[in-house]
Structure 1
């Protein structure tokens, strides 16, 4: 497909990756993905887990002092996810003990989750909500008591609506101080038990989806570029948001290192949504196009953390539209991470279709590229980080496969997808990648940000039509459990019963 604006195309591709599909058409990734997989092939300290996020799993949207986030507001206005809301979703707020029991039975060693800023600090700043504090303390204690390592994300899209109303959230430099104060509360209250902290989830996608195409809250965009936005500037605002995200991350990382890390002995990092971009051909133009895609989509956030500044390609193409870092800021942000979290779902093949009039477009990249999608590429993505960014420690925070909600529990395509990607991950580790963990998306079927309850990524099916929200394991849950417990997983033919007792089904 021809892409006039790659950011729009990549958002579309993200939606395609995250929407229901029914098969993987016998595609295999290289090396280990087509062979037998054994947990013991990975280093002993390599962490395997799964994850969800607060807004998507907790429910209890108006209970115990929680106030709305921008996602609550958008959902209730009918602007997202086909008009559905996450007011109840999986009711993880009340069912967390049963869910953690399932995690233990599954064999998870780690669980990635986020904290709802507006549940912990309802006004976005100021007083801490004691019931929110108690919930997260209880949740973390329950995880640890069941031998599961908590990996906490501080911000997963759900900005308190109060801060959006007051000063337009991530568009304002005020967000840096408020986010840092919120993080300080989390480190102080939970850091004695949490060793892995991620500041922001997918700030690259936040900037593009929220401020370029306007498909996510706060729904800002230029009308000629986005979807039904009433306000915004797609050519400027994504860069402003990205700038504030980077500064906020660095401020929080500095706080953690200065005040908590020596005592708590934990680690802090940033998460990015990452495709593996590869050139469709070996031509010089296609190779350059693939590099531009990496620079604008990944390097935008990773390059400042590694090298102290944006990629040169971005700076040349954006000119004065992109806020620049001062010499002090450049040194401040450089090295402000102990690890990088990566959400990876697919490979994008890129070809150059530029012409002499490319400079007439208002966008800075994408109009000169054509792209197509495949579902494997884990090793290639990790090789990019190894070769370009000095092989930093990486945790695969999200990797998963979408099927229609209420489709068969025999989710063979998801099993094939997991086999391919874990096998490709193994190839990368054997080739020297500093990858240290892998988390599936998602542990349960949850409210999906793109289409609510029409699709699912979960290892466990959740019956949203049942008032009990019954959890049932899918074939992928049994496959993953078998792998995590040391089994040989060169076959897919494991059966899953429709028994409502998950413990019995995983026995």
Structure 2
């Protein structure tokens, strides 16, 4: 690719890591094979809650096609791959009997990555809680911290000889807010949200201790979705709503995990769920901060919602991706500066990407200039943050493949590789070649 099409990377470290990210439920498929148990997302999909009644039953069939997908990563030239383990694939009931067939899949995946010279970054939890544990209260049950620690112990024992990079959770603010806040109206919902936040934080701390004790040279972090929360209008009500959401979206997990304290405005609500020593258990030493960032969030006041907010209109003139997300690279730069200032940890950007509706053209090529321009602008912004002494050490594109995008099903696409869901054929997009060119240029 011509160098004029590449972003400025002059301020990035010589050992900067370029990678791609995926998650288990979004790509693996094989949801009823080799002893895998059901996850909460399997049940949600079967209830018909997803756009077009899509499910994760097949997804990208990564479970059977992982060698092909490693080949795509090799062609990209990435140094690292962030993936997640499906908890119900290895522990079908969440605890108790181990599913060796499920563990074998990840053994094969990890060995294949290492053989290709790609470092595996393993995330323990990307939203697919075993349904059996949900039926025992899920994250509302304080015992969930024990279940999660036991699961982490299994993963450490089986893979810690080859995997050194571990994330406890992906986006805990997202799965807590979207499952316990949005659309909730009953009087107990707010208490459930705070209980869930605290239990997930406890689970994080326990898992960190397990990984640290059982994996030699472990490098551990948690992955947080940080999106600036901005008022949708100049009204005081919208400003207050945005400030409230900012606490829950951006601070409810990293503050206790990295600073040993909850944000002041939510401490009274968390207090009923606290026991002596909890904050010490939550705030365990971490090696890095995992950052997912896409865009700012615009917020309006809504009196009948649980936290008094709803998503509001974007200001006129803000550029949008085809799926309606704001394109504001400077918000990314500001987020990197804020994370560096607030937590003082090395930062790895573990998700950043562009949603579209990409389809092959008449020559079967998938041309996605919008994604290239987005990635270029955001990497430029990251470079600007690095020039201001932000310790950013890696960047992972979301995602390697088009995949199951939660409530949107297969209707939107974030991948560097197009997936034809009928044939499961992978077709690298023009952004794939661009990203490969960037990585190659950085390695000269």
Distance in 1, matches of 2:404 and 2:54, equals: 9
- How far did residue 361 of structure 1 move? 6.5
Change (3 A) 1:427 1:291: farther
Of 140, 152, 159, 2:129 maps to: 159
Question: Residue 75 of structure 2 aligns with which residue?
Answer: 105
Query: Which of residues 245, 249, 256 is equivalent to 1:297?
Result: 249
For each residue in 1:126-171, what CA deviation from the matched residue of structure 2 results, as whole angstroms up to 9, or x when unmatched? Answer: 2211111111011001001101111111011101111112x12111
* Secondary structure, aligned partner of 1:440: strand
Task: Give the 3-state SS of the residue equivalent to 1:447 in structure 2.
Answer: coil
Unaligned 5+ runs, structure 1: 1-33, 215-220, 224-231, 489-507
Range 427-436 or range 112-121, more displaced: 427-436
Match of 1:199, SS state, is: strand
Q: What is the RMSD of the two structures over their aligned residues, measured on CA atoms? A: 2.8
- After superposition, residues 401-412 of structure 1 pair within 5 angstroms as 401-406=354-359, 409-412=366-369
Query: After superposition, what is the alpha-carbon deviation per residue over 1:326-351, rounded to whole angstroms, capped at 9, x for unaligned?
Result: 45212222244222212110023678
How many Å separate the matches in 2 of 1:456 and 1:370? 23
For residues 59-116 of structure 1, the C-alpha deviation after alignment (integer angstroms, 9 at most, x for no partner) is: 1111111111111111111112431111111110111111101101111111110001
Q: In 2 relative to 1, CA 276–308 (structure 1 residues): closer, same or farther, beyond 3 Å?
A: same
Confirm or deny that 1:366 pairs with 2:309.
Answer: yes
Cα separation, 1, equivalents of 2:176 and 2:416: 29
1:291 positional shift: 5.1
- What does residue 377 of structure 2 align with? 420
Which one of 189, 192, 204 corresponds to residue 249 of structure 1?
204
Contact 2:9–2:383 at 8 Å: present in 1 too? no
Residues 362-389 of structure 1 show CA distances to partners (whole Å, capped at 9, x for unaligned) of: 7445379987573222110011112223
Q: Is residue 143 from structure 1 mapped to residue 113 from structure 2 by the alignment?
A: yes
Residues 186-225 of structure 1, C-alpha deviations (whole Å, 9 max, x = no match): 01110111111111111111111112226xxxxxx336xx
Partner of residue 13 from structure 2, selected from 37, 43, 66: 43
* Equivalences for residues 168-317 of structure 1 within 5 A: 168-213=137-182, 221-222=184-185, 233-257=188-212, 259-261=213-215, 264-277=216-229, 292-315=244-267
**Partner SS, residue 268 of structure 1:** strand
Once the 2 structures are TM-superposed, how far is the Cα of residue 297 of structure 1 from its aligned partner?
1.5
**What is the correspondence of 1:419-438 to structure 2 with a 5 Å cutoff?**
419-438=376-395
How far residue 253 of structure 1 moved from its aligned partner, in angstroms, is 0.6
Separation in 2, partners of 1:420, 1:437: 16
SS of the equivalent of 1:437 reads strand
Tell me, yes or no, if the aligned pair for 1:50 and 1:443 is still in contact at 8 Å. Answer: yes
- Report if aligned partners of 2:209, 2:284 keep a CA contact under 8 Å in 1: no
* Residue deviations 1:443-499 (CA, integer Å, cap 9, x gap): 001111121111100000011122xx11111111011011010079xxxxxxxxxxx
Asked if the contact 2:299–2:309 (Cα under 8 Å) also holds between the matched residues in 1, the reply is no
Q: Which residue of 1 aligns with 2:42?
A: 72
Whether the 8 Å contact between 1:75 and 1:81 is mirrored in structure 2 is no
What TM-score results when the alignment is normalised by the length of structure 1? 0.77
Q: What does residue 397 of structure 1 align with?
A: 350
Give the unaligned 5+ runs of structure 2: 316-324
2:297 corresponds, among 333, 348, 352, to 348
Cα offsets for 1:392-415 (capped at 9, x unmatched): 122111111111153651111111
Residues 433 and 478 of structure 1: is their aligned pair in 2 closer, same or farther, counting only changes over 3 Å? same
Does the alignment pair 1:61 with 2:31?
Answer: yes
Distance 1:384 1:407, change over 3 A: farther
| 1:445 matched to 2:414 | no
User: Is the 8 Å Cα contact of residues 51 and 440 (structure 1) preserved in structure 2?
Assistant: yes
Deviations 1:245-275 (A, max 9, x none): 0000001111222x224xx202111112110
Equivalent residues, number: 425
SS in 2 for 1:439: strand
Match of 2:411 in 1: 454
Q: Which residue of 1 aligns with 2:65?
A: 95
Correspondence for 1:482 among 393, 416, 437: 437
Q: Give the Å deviation of 1:294.
A: 3.0
441-450 or 363-372: bigger deviation: 363-372
Equivalent of residue 129 in structure 1, options 76, 99, 116:
99
Q: Which runs of at least 4 in structure 1 moved beyond 6 Å after TM superposition?
A: 279-289, 367-371
Whole-Å Cα distance in 2 between the matches of residues 161 and 300 of structure 1? 25
Q: Distance in 2 between matches of 1:312 and 1:335?
A: 20
Contact 2:220 2:288 in 1 (8 A): yes
Measured in 2, the distance between the counterparts of 1:269 and 1:81 equals 33
Tell me how far apart the structure 1 counterparts of residues 10 and 441 of structure 2 sit (CA, whole Å): 7
Say if 1:40 and 1:486, in contact at 8 Å, map to a contact too: no
